[in-house]
Structure 1
């Protein structure tokens, strides 16, 4: 199923926290998107892998994703080995995205920066004819290289190379995040009251997300924004299209 954007995260909820508003904005403009999780986040302090999977699919439905897949790679130990790389390449070739959104280039969680390189490498290798991957029917997939890979900003306050206005979509973004009841807003739910508190489980974290979106949008003149970094210099065909 071809999509315009493939958003890839090493953990379920990476997408919702960091680039859900961007996906919603582009969907409103007529584009399509899919989501690929590399792991089930089984090392997370709160909840379980099974619960996180249910939450992830609920969030994908809330966002309107064309699909959501999980590669079941090991949380905390994702590596750019051949088998892992081929799994990512196969998904890229299957949905043929124009743009791939990937984890932050570096971040507090070691998985994020490591996944950023793995995803970017897989996006490049996906365009090499001599790397063979197969679809579910056993047929060889056609090579495909996305036009660009953009890395969404996550926990650490990196300087963005560009930002996307998500002012009109922030509320829906927070609704998708709320699908992860085991992870966020612990003060609003008794289902996970007995589990340990984490840096993201309290109301202060949701306040932080809002404040971060305001800070990212300020310089561009947006009320709320999500930020991205690039590893390859982009080209501009129309200066008037830049805000």
Structure 2
């Protein structure tokens, strides 16, 4: 299914935490998006891979994604080997996105930075005609290279290259995050509240996430924003479009 934007996260919930407001904003503008998780997050301290998969599909439905897929790569040990690259290339060619949103260029979790590099390489390789991949029906896929890759900022603060106004979509963003009951919001006494506490499981993390959105939005004059880094600087055709 062709989409305008493909959001890729190495773990289920990466997308919701870091760029779901941006996806909601672009959906409101008439653009389509799909979601691709590289792993099941099976090494997480809370819940299970099966639980997180159910949560991920619930979040995708709440966001209005055209699809959500998982490549079942190994959590914590993802590498850029040939088979991994071919799986990601095939997923990219399958939906032919104009833009890819990917993990942070560097972060607290080592999978995030590794995924950023792996996905960027796959986006380039996907445009090479002599790399052969096939869809689920066994048909050879055409080469496809996304027009741009933007890396969402995650746990560690990085200097943004640009921010996206998500002020009207903050409530929906947090509703999507709340689908991951096994990972977050111990303070609402959900069924997983007795599991081991983690740096992201309590109310303080949700407060931090909201404050971070305000921080990124403030300089641009927005109430809330999500922030991104680029590998190449973007071009501007009209300076009056910049805020």
Q: Do the structures match in fold with TM over 0.5?
A: yes
Q: What are the equivalent positions in structure 2 for 1:149-164 lying under 5 Å apart? A: 149-164=149-164
Matched, 1:111 2:111: yes
The 2-side partners of 1:152 and 1:190 are apart by 29
Q: For 1:3 and 1:36, how far apart are their aligned partners in 2?
A: 12
2: CA distance, partners of 1:105 / 1:209: 19
Residue 216 of structure 1 is matched in structure 2 by 216
- C-alpha separation in 1, matches of 2:239 and 2:99: 21
CA distance in 2, matches of 1:148, 1:111: 21
Gaps of 5+ in 2: none
Tell me the equivalent position of 1:207. Answer: 207
Equivalences for residues 65-214 of structure 1 within 5 A? 65-214=65-214
Dislocated runs of 4+, deviation >2 Å: none
- 2: CA distance, partners of 1:136 / 1:153: 33
Distance in 2 separating the partners of 1:239 and 1:103:
28
SS in 2 for 1:154: coil
Q: CA RMSD in A?
A: 0.6
What is the SS of the residue equivalent to 1:91? helix
Provide the rounded CA distance (Å) in 2 between the counterparts of 1:83 and 1:69.
17
TM-score (ref. length: structure 1): 0.99
Does the CA contact (< 8 Å) of 2:181 and 2:190 recur in 1? Answer: no
The aligned residue for residue 238 of structure 1 is 238
Per the normalisation by structure 2, the TM-score is 0.99
Q: How many angstroms does 1:193 deviate by?
A: 2.7
For 2:120 and 2:105, how far apart are their aligned partners in 1?
10
TM superposition shift of 1:194 = 2.5
Aligned-residue offset at 1:240: 1.0
Preserved contact between residue 181 and residue 189 of structure 1 (Cα < 8 Å): no
2:93/2:141 contact within 8 Å kept: yes
1:81-137: per-residue Cα shift (whole Å, max 9, x none)? 000100000010010000000000000000000000000000000000000000111
The equivalent residue for 2:4 is: 4
1:51-62 pair list within 5 angstroms: 51-62=51-62
Structure 1 residue ranges without an equivalent (≥5): none
